[in-house]
Amino acid sequence: MTRVWQWNRPVTVREVLEDLQQERSIAYTTVMTVMDNLHQKGWVRREAEGRAYRYTAVSTRAAYSAALMNEAWSTSDNPAAALVAFFGMMSPEQREALRDAVRIVQHDEPEPPAAGAPEAAPPAAGPGANPSAPGEEGGSGARRSEPGR
């Protein structure tokens, strides 16, 4: 997957093989099997090109990493404690990146109403309502969107 993400274009087994062989000896069939497994898991899609396939990543490396983090966090019996422990493992640079990410997400959210201003009515539940949204009955708010599993 690293090669597919790095190149950010459709790749063949032969291209991946030749790149990997610069670092170590590896068989064509090994790379072909791994690429087929990635396709079977839904991490790459493939299109026939002659007698070979061209493989393309289904999602970005960042989206995949985010899905893994979300899965790990959402399966914890104490999500707040898991986050505190995770943040404690971060380097100062990683914590600064986290602060930047939170600022970006908060910037995209609507501003809360000013003190004393009337609050907007909550949206009516309808066909597009999310039954597992935080604060609504029946849902934990955790969404699982891990690609390919």
How far apart are the C-alpha atoms of 143 and 104, rounded to whole Å? 20
CB 40 within 8 A of CB 3: no
Q: What is the pTM of this model?
A: 0.56
Instruction: Flag whether pLDDT at 137 surpasses 80.
Output: no
Tokens of 67: 């899905």
CB 48 within 8 A of CB 121: no
Q: Sorting pLDDT into bands at 50, 70 and 90, what band is 74?
A: confident
CA distance readout (Å), 6 to 35, 45, 132? 15, 16, 35
**pLDDT at position 127, please?**
38
Q: Sorting pLDDT into bands at 50, 70 and 90, what band is 6?
A: very high
